[in-house]
């Protein structure tokens, strides 16, 4: 049986970048499951699996289709209980929900203010037009206006991860001695900016950078298969 994970890319199909898709990639790798990753550009997402979902990632596992990275992780945990756990119980699921909220409300907006034009630059002409129209409608301003304080956002970014930095003083991963899905949530966000913008987010001695490097090395260095921009 071939598992298929539909993900998101720009003009280069070899450089998938979506933070949510990276969560699913790492979850599948964590479970030790073989899969075929099939990245598509924004305008092709509605065509995936005959319009099954409006968002990526989308996982086909035999006859089963699942969309949304968190739902995919929950599905994998239930469908493959004999494989390494992504949550280590109900407490881990609750923790991951909190981490996801923190990531999407604190980390993602900051990354948008840093990398939005970089993401735009990775797209072909047709997808650039779609991306500009949809994102400018969402932000209520031009892409250039969104990133106007990019340098200041970069300087301020490490402060946003002090809760993670403090925790890493006690353990190597958010999940404890080893990674759980909560780690992949934050990893996906930082991988997003690494692949699209390639900027330096942390000083070399930052525990968060050391944690991110450990995550890049997980599962036969799956995260490093796509190089930094």
Residue-wise pLDDT for 35-49, tens only, equals 999 999 999 999 999
d(CA 118, CA 193) in angstroms, rounded, equals 9
Task: For residues 116 and 201, state if they share a domain.
Answer: yes
Q: Which of 48, 79, 110 is the last residue of a domain?
A: 79
In this structure, the chain runs to a length of: 229
Task: For residues 52 and 29, state if they share a domain.
Answer: yes
Residue from 116, 99, 114, 109 nearest 186 by CA: 99
Task: For residues 110 and 193, state if they share a domain.
Answer: yes
Tens digit of pLDDT for each residue in 117-166?
999 999 999 999 999 999 999 999 999 999 999 999 999 999 999 999 99
Task: For residues 99 and 207, state if they share a domain.
Answer: yes
CB-CB contact of 150 with 114 (8 Å): yes
Q: Which of 32, 60, 79 is the last residue of a domain?
A: 79
- Residue 1: pLDDT band by 50, 70, 90 thresholds? low
Could you tell me the sign of the dihedral formed by the alpha carbons of 34, 40, 42, 43, in that order? Answer: negative
Whether the per-residue pLDDT at 8 is higher than 80: the answer is yes
In this structure, what CATH number is given to the domain that contains residue 134?
1.20.1050.10
Task: For residues 116 and 191, state if they share a domain.
Answer: yes
Structure tokens, 224 = 């490093």
CB-CB contact of 9 with 16 (8 Å): yes
84 assigned to some structural domain? no
In the chain, the number of structural domains is 2
Task: For residues 40 and 101, state if they share a domain.
Answer: no
**What domain range is 73 assigned to?**
3-79
Task: For residues 99 and 132, state if they share a domain.
Answer: yes
List all residues 6 or more positions away from 148 whose beta carbon is below 8 Å from its beta carbon.
none
Neighbours of 182 (CB within 10 A): 26
């Amino acid at each position: 049986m071939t598992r298929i994970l539909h993900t998101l890319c720009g003009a280069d199909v070899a450089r998938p970048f979506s933070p949510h898709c990276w969560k699913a990639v790492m979850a599948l790798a964590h479970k030790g499951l073989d899969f075929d990753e099939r990245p598509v550009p924004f305008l092709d997402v509605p065509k995936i699996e005959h319009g099954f979902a409006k968002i990526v990632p989308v996982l086909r596992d035999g006859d089963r289709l699942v969309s949304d990275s968190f739902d995919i992780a929950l599905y994998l945990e239930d469908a493959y209980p004999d494989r390494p756990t992504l949550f280590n119980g109900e407490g881990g699921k609750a923790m991951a929900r909190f981490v996801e909220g923190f990531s999407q409300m604190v980390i993602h907006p900051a990354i948008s203010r840093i990398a939005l034009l970089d993401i735009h630059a990775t797209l072909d002409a047709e997808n650039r037009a779609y991306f500009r129209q949809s994102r400018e409608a969402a932000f209520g301003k031009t892409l250039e206006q969104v990133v106007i304080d990019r340098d200041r956002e970069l300087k301020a970014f490490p402060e946003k991860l002090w809760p993670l930095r403090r925790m890493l003083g006690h353990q190597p991963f958010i999940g404890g001695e080893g990674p759980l899905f909560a780690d992949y949530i934050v990893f996906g966000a930082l991988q997003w900016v690494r692949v699209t913008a390639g900027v330096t987010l942390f000083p070399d001695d930052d525990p968060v950078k050391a944690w991110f490097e450990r995550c890049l090395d997980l599962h036969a260095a799956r995260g490093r298969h796509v190089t930094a921009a």
